Amino acid sequence: MVNRRTGIYFFLLSGLLLVSGKSIAQDNNWTHFRGSNLNAIAANEQVPLKWDDSVIRWKTSIHGRGKSSPVVYGSQVWLTTATPDGKELYAVCVDFNSGKIIHDIKIFTPEDAGGKHSLNTYASPTPCIEKGFVYVHYGSMGTACINTSDGSVVWKNTDFKCRHVQGPASSPVIYKNLLILHFEGTDVRYIVALDKATGKPVWKADRPSEPYEPLTQIGRKAYITPLIINVGGRDMMISNGSAVCIAYAPDTGREIWRVVNGAESTISMPVSEKGIVYWYSGPDLGADGQNTNYLYAVNPEGSGDITGTNVLWKKLERQSQNQMLTPVIRDGLIYTVTTRNMLMCIDASNGTEVWSTRVNSNFNASPLFISGNVWFFSVKGEVLVLKAGRNHEVVSENKLDTGIWATPAVIRNTLIIRTEDALYKIGK
């Protein structure tokens, strides 16, 4: 395999830093789950609001099963897929302009893929990509780096394990020369940073044991993707496990602060705006027998256990299961759909509902903010576009043939949408 340490293109991924509450431009690529800034915002893209055959630039069938989101760099779109039994794990590259499959690479053939939830697949973690290289991750089944120029595998790493029980889902992120991965199972919970040039470990941070002791074993797992922000000139990686949300120094794995919360698995990643961090806890069975989730708003300045000092507010949600999708926040408003099919807008300053309405489908893909509108994608293939703001105003409704579980990429005035069996490019 190729050793790429010599002459490697190291750079600080601009999409990871949120400086002074303002996100840096996507730089004409979509490199991670929820974009190069990890925030699902494409403020200047002009995507068609009304769809017919003329806006479908191409449709490409994708074999197998996968719920990883597409990532885009230059003229390439990458995603992962797997056989239904998880015995074959693939990385697929599609030409952005034509929809033609360029690479279809079998990366791993695990003897035992383990169990998974009926809603999950063995290819749910979203790849991340930079100039020359894409990184694909399948949880405990392995991680690999691929040279995007020729499809050759640069390195593989299968050293890190946990009992996912319900399949992998946490997506990797690039930070400087590191590739950061989460392994949070019923047995062990830790985060590891690999040298992205070699796949060798640089640091490993175990979750603290104390917050997990009261939890049932099945509730200790998590499926989150972390958020990296800048607070007072210092980078922080915000990572909300099932029992505790921790801010780590992403270059070393050192814990900066923690907030103890939740009693079950977490899926939704944190979001941030104007110096405040927001995340959902896992569900907890209350004294009245109802499942409850909390949406937390936290001031990320501080150190140690800041549970009692830095929680600005927390919003209670009753009869809610795990928050499947990650909300999008823009101009002080949080937009989300709960697993009980409540579409809502939340005031980020105090946690109150600005408006809410019930929808008839599950919306498990994370919403996007595109040029003043908020886009939602359902497991039935429905695409709902709302005008961003304090009033509930439907802009358009469209539909594809099959369900949408993966969060789309939005780039160069187009949407790249993965459905259950195909990849679409939609644009003018």
pLDDT on residue 2: 40
What does the pLDDT read at residue 261?
84
For every one of its 428 residues, what pLDDT tens digit does the chain have, with 9 covering 90 and above? 444 433 333 333 333 333 333 344 456 999 999 999 999 999 899 999 999 999 999 999 999 999 999 999 999 999 999 999 999 999 999 999 999 999 999 999 999 888 999 899 999 999 999 999 999 999 999 999 999 999 999 999 999 999 999 999 999 999 999 999 999 999 999 999 999 999 999 999 999 999 999 888 888 999 999 999 999 999 999 999 999 999 999 999 999 999 998 778 899 999 999 999 999 988 775 656 666 788 999 999 999 999 999 999 999 876 566 688 999 999 999 999 988 899 999 999 999 999 999 999 999 999 999 999 999 999 999 999 999 999 999 999 999 999 999 999 999 999 999 999 999 999 98
Rounded to the nearest angstrom, the gap between the alpha carbon of residue 242 and the centroid of all alpha carbons in its chain is 16
**Model pLDDT, residue 318:** 66
Quick one: pLDDT at residue 263?
75
Q: What is the pLDDT of residue 269?
A: 95
What DSSP assignment string belongs to 292-307? EEEEEEE-----EE-T
Strand segments, DSSP code E, in 128-261 are 128-130, 133-137, 143-147, 153-157, 173-175, 178-184, 189-195, 201-206, 227-231, 234-240, 244-248, 255-260
**Cα of 229 vs its chain's centroid, Å:** 15
Architecture of domain 14-427: 7 Propeller (2.130)
| Pair 418, 99: CB distance under 8 Å | no
What was the pLDDT predicted at 200? 98
pTM of structure: 0.92
Q: What is the distance between the alpha carbons of residues 272 and 81, in angstroms, rounded to a whole number?
A: 30
Report the distance separating Cα 29 and Cα 38, nearest Å.
12
The reported pLDDT for the residue numbered 282 is 81
